[in-house]
Each structure stands twice: as structure tokens, then as C-alpha cells.
Amino acid sequence: MECSSSHGSASEPHAALFFVLGYLPLREIFAAQRTCRSLRDAIAGDDLLWRGLRVEPPLSRKLTDGALIEVASRAKGRLTSLSLVDCWLITDAALRRVVDGNPCIVKINVPGCSRLTADGVVNLVHIMVDQKKEKEKKKRVVEVGINGIPGLGKEHLHALNTILAGEECSLDVQVCPKCDDVRVVTQCTRESCRATSVGQAVCRGCNFCIARCAECGGCVDGSGEDSACFHTLCLNCWLRLTKCSLCNRAVCSAHLLTHPGDLPSPFTCDDCSDPFSPPPYFDL
């Protein structure tokens, strides 16, 4: 990102940049901060910008407890939404400090934060709900995302449901009817599966128990069709998706978006483009 005005001068950033700041991921905001003093001042002084904090890969791998506490402090006690995706270094103690210092938090999403403990998360949600009851009677805890926290069991889920009773809250995990573990449980998107209660029961489950198409969310028989992005694909989606011009494997739409180059010029998957790796169709 570069600072330049509509007249091309290098002194002042374009006014539009200030408006898009709120939509940028944290990594881009940090990058913007380093471009010039006006943007740095605007970012530092913008309380609203810091009220919702979302850290996701690749930045999440570097987020330490100290860094989290520092970034959260920029909300000046008004943080309302905290989303930490795969932040492996974050501990219960740091998260507790952030929640203690920000009594307005109504949404906490910490999937894959593997250093957090299930007991710590239950405790944290308890504190959030108590803070709400004390400070702002009208506001409710609205969202709790804890998929992938190590050791999360039925007793924790039961404790959370008890704490959150009466709150209009969404919790991302349930007990999977197939494996009996606490995980994200999804219902099939396929109309034919949803038509009968038997059908609904057959393919309702967690991702470990039911293979689902990455494109449409429908259940898939076996391992699904050949994909070049290693996501599971159903036959219907495979037929309409873009295929690699060399190996004829399909890629899901999300992967295609991240692929460099202009489409629909012939698409070549990562395996086939890699000069050091033999294409998969030679691997017989």
C-alpha cells in the first residue's frame, strides 16, 4: 500500500483510504500504519477500528500473549468482538486479561487456539456473562466459537449451555450424533437428504464422520471426486468446476480465487506447474 493523494503527491494519503481501514485485515492495517504519518495517526486515533479484533493465519502464528494484550488495549476497554483463528501461542491468562479489560465483549471466537484449555474457556464465558449482567443488562453474549480447543468434552459443553441459558447465543460446537465427540456438527445441504427425517439423521455429523463437498456442503460417497486442491468434491460440483488442463482434476472456487493469472485462460494446478514435482498423473 502506498500513500499518494489524488494529485499524485507522496505527502498525503487518498481520503478513501481512511474509509476502507475498517474493512482491512489486521495485517493490512499494520502495513498501512508503516506507510506514512497521516495513516499512522488516523489508525492510532480510530477507536472504532479496534473494537472488533480478528487475527487469522498467517499472522495468528506470530501472535504472542504480549502482542494480543497490546493490540487489544488499542480499543481502550471497548472491544466488543474478539476472533483469534489458529493462534497457537495464546494462553488462557492473556485471554482472561483481555476479557477483564473489555467488559463489552459479546463475541469471542477462538477456533484452533491449541494452547487454550477447555476449563479456561468455560471460565472465560462465565466471566463474560457475569460482566454483561452487571454492566449492561440489555446486551447479551451473542457468539462463542471454541471448535478445536484441546480436551473439550461433554462436561464442558454442559457447563457452557448452563452458563449461556437465557442468552441468545450461538455456540459453534455440539455433540456429534455419530462419534459422540464435541465438534462442529453440520446438516447436509442436499435437498434429497433433508427431505426425510431418516435422511437428515443419516448425514448429520461432524467433518470427521461425514465427508462433505467443499463447494456445496452436500454429503459425499467415499472420498469424492479427484481434486487438485485436496478438498473433497461431489460429482455435481466436480462436473461444473474448472479443471487443470494437464491432469483434469478440478479445483474448488475458493482455491481458484487465490490462484494467480487470468482465467479462463488454460488453468494449470500447483502440482502440474511445479517443475520439481512430477505431475500426479505420472504417479501410477
| 157 lies in the site for Zn ion, by CB under 5 A | no
Are the CB atoms for 59 and 89 separated by under 8 Å? Answer: no
| 29 lies in the site for Zn ion, by CB under 5 A | no
95 vs 63: CA distance, rounded Å: 12
Using the rule CB under 5 A, give the single segment among 9-17, 81-89, 172-180, 256-264 that binds Zn ion.
172-180
Nearer to Zn ion, 41 or 270 (CB): 270
Which of residues 188, 242, 243, 250 is near Zn ion by CB under 5 A? 188
64 vs 184: CA distance, rounded Å: 26
Supply the minimum distance, in Å, between the C-beta of residue 198 and Zn ion. 11
> CA of 77: how far to CAs of 24, 69, 92, 176, in Å?
21, 11, 19, 37
| 246 lies in the site for Zn ion, by CB under 5 A | yes
Residue 170, sorted as left (phi over 0), alpha (psi -120 to 50) or beta, turns out to be beta
Cell of 196: 426425510
Nearer to Zn ion, 96 or 231 (CB): 231
Which of residues 178, 186, 187, 259 is near Zn ion by CB under 5 A? 178
Nearer to Zn ion, 120 or 217 (CB): 217
Supply the minimum distance, in Å, between the C-beta of residue 191 and Zn ion. 9
Supply the minimum distance, in Å, between the C-beta of residue 173 and Zn ion. 11
Supply the minimum distance, in Å, between the C-beta of residue 23 and Zn ion. 25
Are the CB atoms for 164 and 177 separated by under 8 Å? Answer: no
Supply the minimum distance, in Å, between the C-beta of residue 228 and Zn ion. 5
Supply the minimum distance, in Å, between the C-beta of residue 210 and Zn ion. 7
- The site that binds Zn ion (CB under 5 A) totals a number of residues, namely 26
| 182 lies in the site for Zn ion, by CB under 5 A | no
76 vs 73: CA distance, rounded Å: 5
Supply the minimum distance, in Å, between the C-beta of residue 209 and Zn ion. 3
Residue in 9, 32, 7 with CA at minimum distance from that of residue 19: 32
Q: Burial letters for 193-207: b for 16+ Cβ neighbours within 10 Å, e otherwise?
A: beeeeebeeebbbbe
> CA of 86: how far to CAs of 66, 215, 258, in Å?
17, 23, 20
270 vs 255: CA distance, rounded Å: 11
Nearer to Zn ion, 101 or 217 (CB): 217
| 229 lies in the site for Zn ion, by CB under 5 A | yes
234 vs 216: CA distance, rounded Å: 8
> Site map for Zn ion, 192-221, x if CB under 5 A?
-x---------x-xx--x---x-xx-xx--
Site residues, Zn ion (CB under 5 A):
176, 178-179, 188, 190, 193, 203, 205-206, 209, 213, 215-216, 218-219, 229, 231, 234, 237, 244, 246-247, 252, 255, 269, 272
